[in-house]
Amino acid sequence: MKRFGTLEGVFTPCLLSILGVIMYLRLGWVVGKVGLLLTLGIIVLSNIITLATALSMSSIVTNIRIGTGGAYSIIAKSLGIEAGGAIGIPLYLSQAISVAFYIVGFAECWHSVFPQHSLLQVSLVLWGILFVVSYYSAKFAFRLQYAIMIIIALSLVSIFLGGQTAQTVPLGWGQVQVNDFWKVFAIFFPAVTGILAGAAMSGELVDPQRSIPRGTLAAIGVSFVIYVSLAGWFAHNASAQDLVANTSILIDLGRWKPLVVAGIMGATLSSALSMFVGSPRTFLALGKHSIVPFSGAVVRVNKRGEPTTAILFTALLVLVTLLLGTLDNVANLLTMFFLITYGMINLSVFFEQSIGIASFRPTFRISRFIPFLGSVGCIVVMLLINAKFSLFAFVSIVIIYILLLRREVKIHSSDIRSGLLIFMAEQFAKAAAKLPYHPKIWKPNLIVPIEDMPSFARLIPFVKSIIAPTGRLFLFTVLSGHEARVEGQEDGPGVDFKDQTKQELINISHPLREADLFVEASVVESPDFTTGSITTLQAMRDMFFPPNTLFCVLSDPFPGRLDVVRLVAKASHEGLGIIILKYHLQKGFGKEQTINLWIRQQSPNIDLSILTALQLKNNWDGQLRLVQAVQEASEVLEAQNYLMRIQKIMRIPLDIEIKVVVGDFRECLTAAPAADINIFGMPEKPDIKLTQEVFDLVQSSVLFLRDSEHESAVA
First and final CA of the chain: distance in angstroms?
A: 66
Q: 62 and 252 in contact (C-beta within 8 Å)? A: no
Q: Which amino acid is at 25?
A: L
Mean pLDDT score, 329-351: 75
Class of CATH domain 441-580: alpha beta
For residue 441, pLDDT over 90 is answered with no
Burial (CB < 10 A; 0-12, 13-18, 19+), residue 15, is buried
How far apart, in whole angstroms, are the C-alpha atoms of residue 113 and residue 156?
Answer: 19
Dihedral angle sign, alpha carbons of residues 426, 431, 433, 437: negative
Per the prediction, the chain carries an average pLDDT of: 82
* Contacts for 666-672: CB closer than 8 Å, 24+ residues apart: 666/693, 666/697, 668/629, 669/629, 669/694, 669/697, 669/698, 670/697, 670/698, 672/596, 672/627, 672/629, 672/698
Q: What is the pLDDT of residue 176?
A: 58
Tell me the C-alpha distance between 635 and 637, whole Å.
Answer: 6
Mean predicted confidence (pLDDT) in 466-489: 76
Q: For 615-625, what is each residue's pLDDT tens digit?
A: 999 999 999 99
Distance separating alpha carbons of residues 586 and 676, to the nearest angstrom: 12
Q: What's the distance, CA 68 to chain centroid?
A: 21
Count of alpha carbons within 13 angstroms of residue 192, beta-carbon side: 32
Nearest alpha carbon to residue 167 among 238, 114, 98: 238
Q: Is the pLDDT of residue 385 over 90?
A: no
Q: Indicate the range of 438-452, 468-482, 551-565 predicted with least confidence.
A: 551-565
Strands 577-582, 701-706: pairing kind: antiparallel
Q: How many CB atoms lie within 10 A of CB 277?
A: 29
Confidence (pTM): 0.66
pLDDT tier at 467, thresholds 50, 70, 90: very high
Do the Cβ atoms of 241 and 37 come closer than 8 Å?
Answer: no
**Cβ neighbour number for residue 221 with a 10 Å cutoff:** 14
More confident residue, 365 or 468: 468
Angle between helices 27-61 and 208-237 (to 10 degrees): 160
Instruction: State the DSSP code for 710.
Output: T
What's the farthest any 2 CA atoms get from each other in the chain?
Answer: 115
What's the whole-number mean pLDDT along residues 664-668?
90
SS3 category, 594: strand
pLDDT digits (tens, 9 = 90+) for 149-205: 888 889 888 888 876 645 555 565 556 555 577 778 877 877 787 777 766 666 667
Please tell me the predicted confidence (pLDDT) of residue 495: 47
The yes-or-no verdict on residue 408 having pLDDT over 70 is no
Helix, strand, coil percentages for the chain (3-state, nearest 5): 60, 10, 30
Q: Which helix (H) or strand (E) holds 550?
A: strand 549-553
pLDDT greater at residue 61 or residue 313: 313
**Contact between 465 and 616 (Cβ < 8 Å):** yes
Q: According to the model, what pLDDT value does residue 494 have? A: 40
The predicted model gives 263-275 an average pLDDT of 81
CA distances in angstroms from 421 to 35, 354, 698, listed in the order given: 48, 12, 47
pLDDT at 617: 94
Per-residue pLDDT band for 487 (boundaries 50, 70, 90) equals very low
Q: Which of these ranges, 53-62, 177-186, 412-421, 518-527, has the smallest mean pLDDT?
A: 412-421
CA-CA distances (angstroms) from residue 498 to 32, 239, 454, 476, 503? 76, 83, 16, 12, 9
Tens-place pLDDT, residues 414-439:
556 666 666 777 777 777 777 777 78
| Number of other CB atoms surrounding residue 635 within 10 Å | 16
User: Computed from CA positions of residues 106, 108, 109, 110, in that sequence, does the dihedral angle turn out positive or negative?
Assistant: positive
Whether residue 215 contacts residue 11, with contact meaning beta carbons closer than 8 Å, is answered with yes
From-to residues of CATH 1.20.1740.10 in the chain: 6-407
The pairing of beta strand 657-662 with beta strand 677-681? unpaired
Radius of gyration of the chain (CA): 36
| Third-level CATH fold of 6-407 | Amino acid/polyamine transporter I (1.20.1740)
Q: Is the pLDDT of residue 342 over 80?
A: yes
pLDDT at 613: 95
The mean per-residue pLDDT over the stretch 109-118 comes to: 80
Instruction: Outline which parts of the chain fall under CATH 3.40.50.620.
Output: 441-580, 584-715
**Higher pLDDT residue, 271 or 449?**
449
**Domain 584-715 grouped into CATH 3.40.50.620:** yes
Of residues 445 and 557, more confidently modeled: 445
Run of H or E residues at 567: helix 564-573
For residue 250, which of 306, 93, 265 has the smallest C-alpha distance?
A: 265
Query: Per-residue confidence at 446, pLDDT binned at 50, 70, 90?
Result: very high
Please name every residue paired with 702 in a beta bridge, in sequence order, or none if there are none: 582, 678
The residue-averaged pLDDT of 651-672 equals: 91
Ordered alpha helix ranges (H), 358-496: 369-407, 417-433, 453-457, 460-467, 481-484
Any idea which of 138-142, 445-449, 570-574, 674-678 has the lowest mean pLDDT? Answer: 138-142
Give residue 71's pLDDT.
Answer: 72
Question: What pLDDT score was predicted for residue 492?
Answer: 42
pLDDT of residue 134 exceeding 50 = yes
User: Distance between CA atoms of 102 and 272, rounded to whole angstroms?
Assistant: 5
At a CB cut-off of 8 Å and minimum separation 6, what does 225 contact? none
pLDDT reading at 478 higher than 60: yes
> Percentage of the chain surpassing pLDDT 90?
23
Q: How many helices (H) and strands (E) does the chain have?
A: 29, 12
Please give the distance of CA 418 from its chain centroid, rounded to a whole number. Answer: 10
Residue 614: how many CA atoms within 13 Å on its side-chain side? 18
pLDDT, tens digit, for every residue of 606-648?
A: 999 999 999 999 999 999 999 999 999 999 999 999 999 999 9
